[in-house]
Structures are given as structure tokens and as C-alpha cells.
Amino acid sequence: MSRRKNAKKRTIKPDAIYNSIVVSMIINKILKNGKKALAERILYESIQKVKDSVKDDPLKILEKAITNATPVVELKSRRVGGATYQVPIEIKKERGTSIALTFLIKSARKRPGKNMIMKLGNEIIDAYNNTGTSVKKKEELHRMAETNKAFANFK
């Protein structure tokens, strides 16, 4: 992070099929080794799987799943004296969405199964139903923030 200037916020272009910025953000999170076409194919096919199984608008399902996995607070390490404290800090909406997408993708990758399309589709459905690893990660983060609420004055 630069000490001279503030970093410029980059604008994210919406994706081609759904014309949604959130879908474009997910594609960029899935991306590995610059293979964007593969990441797009994985996401679009998993959204199709979600659409087939839930029988509803897939974008609404995806946004509800992201909302269910979005944390409100996060923990930042602060060094005071000789001790390091985990200080709970409220986060902005964009940062919360980014963390939720990270939770979704990482928990989908850790799922047992054959291919990423099935794993990501199942994780989106689980997050939509308020179950699944990504929602549990969010609840764990909130629990830890509640535990460390005494250190909130170190902001």
C-alpha cells in the first residue's frame, strides 16, 4: 500500500450474459492462472445447475446467497505495548461482499466432489438456505468479534 497517494478504486465491468457486476466479481475470484474463459464456464454452468434445482431466478438466488454469507465486522490485528489484540472493526458493504465471495469460493473448493461446477453450485444453494461452510465462517467471524469486543477501544 502506497504511503504517498490513496489507491484509485478500479471499476469492474459487468459480465456479458447476466450484465451483473457481482457475477463479474465472482468470475475474478474463481480465476486461476489467467484462465478467465474457464472461470466463466465454471460459474455459468454452476448458475445453470442452481437454476435447474431451485426453479427460481438464478441472480436472485446468487445475491441472496452472497447476502447470507456477508459479514458485518472483521478482526484486525493491532499491536499495543507488547501485546497483539484482535480488534473488531465494522466493514463497508463492498468489503463485506468481497469477503463473502472469498468465503463462497474457498468453501466450494474444499468441498468433496469431482468437479468445481457441482461444488460451487451446491455451495451457492447451501448459502441460499443459510447452511453451508461459507455461512458458518461468517458466524464464526461474528462470534470472534463478539468475544473480542472489549478491545474495540484500540481502534
CATH architecture under which domain 21-154 falls: Orthogonal Bundle (1.10)
Q: Closest Cα to residue 102, out of 80, 128, 123, 129?
A: 123
Given a cut of 90, whether residue 138 has pLDDT beyond it is yes
Q: How much is the pLDDT for 1? A: 62
For 71, counting Cβ atoms within 10 Å of its Cβ (0-12 exposed, 13-18 middle, 19+ buried), the class is: buried
Given a cut of 90, whether residue 153 has pLDDT beyond it is no
Distance CA 29, CA 24 (A): 9
- The torsion angles phi and psi of 67, rounded to 5 degrees, stand at -60, -40
Return the domain boundaries, the chain: 21-154
Given a cut of 70, whether residue 126 has pLDDT beyond it is yes
Cα 7 to the center of its chain, rounded Å: 22
Q: Closest Cα to residue 103, out of 48, 43, 29, 27?
A: 29
Q: Closest Cα to residue 46, out of 133, 139, 2, 111?
A: 111
pLDDT digits (tens, 9 = 90+) for 21-68: 999 999 999 998 999 999 999 999 999 999 999 888 999 999 999 999
Distance CA 147, CA 141 (A): 10
Cα 83 to the center of its chain, rounded Å: 30
- Is pTM beyond 0.85? Reply is yes
